[in-house]
Structure 1
């Protein structure tokens, strides 16, 4: 049987770049060290290991990691908590925009 709940909402990094100007919530679920090595300016570091404690806005939450695997895990956790997650396919490996270090 087909389940709509099993379908993940996802965007490409190009789609994400367009959305960044609209004030979205973007969580970078990589480790703090990975985050410091280069992240999207608007991203808030919320490592996968602590994503279950996230208590932000319940509207759309964009999730990014290095390749898309950890953000997919975070997606499932946040969806179960009632959030509307959106996975960024390809993660930072596919991101071609500016990054901030530190």
Structure 2
């Protein structure tokens, strides 16, 4: 019952850049079209509407990003229910200042 109010941990995009240097797993939950327009190198596109089907090693920490941080927060809650250690990226791609692969943001 108390899990209902449990907060998902979150980090800034600058903190994410440090974590990515450690070979972190990053899920981009935007639509495939948004992802193609520009994404962080190494990010795996798992759209929010398909995140419930995501399967991978539950031992690793997942970092979840979207455009602004709202969809990723929802995705993080869903993934946490499935047993994953999840961290939401605050501000999303709109705050990302690092390298981008694909189109331009």
TM value normalised by structure 1: 0.93
Instruction: Answer yes or no: is 1:71 the counterpart of 2:69.
Output: no
1:9 aligned partner: 9
Question: Structure 2: how far apart are the matches of 1:91 and 1:3?
Answer: 25
2:63 aligned partner: 62
1:80 aligned partner: 81
Tell me by how many angstroms 1:83 deviates: 0.5
Tell me by how many angstroms 1:3 deviates: 6.3
- Determine helix, strand or coil for the equivalent of 1:49: helix
2:102 aligned partner: 101
TM value normalised by structure 2: 0.90
Question: Structure 2: how far apart are the matches of 1:3 and 1:81?
Answer: 13
Q: Extract unaligned runs of 5+ from structure 2.
A: none
Tell me by how many angstroms 1:52 deviates: 0.3
Tell me by how many angstroms 1:29 deviates: 0.1
Aligned pair in 2 of structure 1 residues 29, 36: CA closer, same or farther (>3 Å)? Answer: same
Cα-Cα RMSD? 1.6
Question: Structure 1: how far apart are the matches of 2:4 and 2:15?
Answer: 22
1:64-101 deviations in Å (ceiling 9; x for gaps): 00000000000110010000110000000000011000
The total of aligned residue pairs comes to: 101
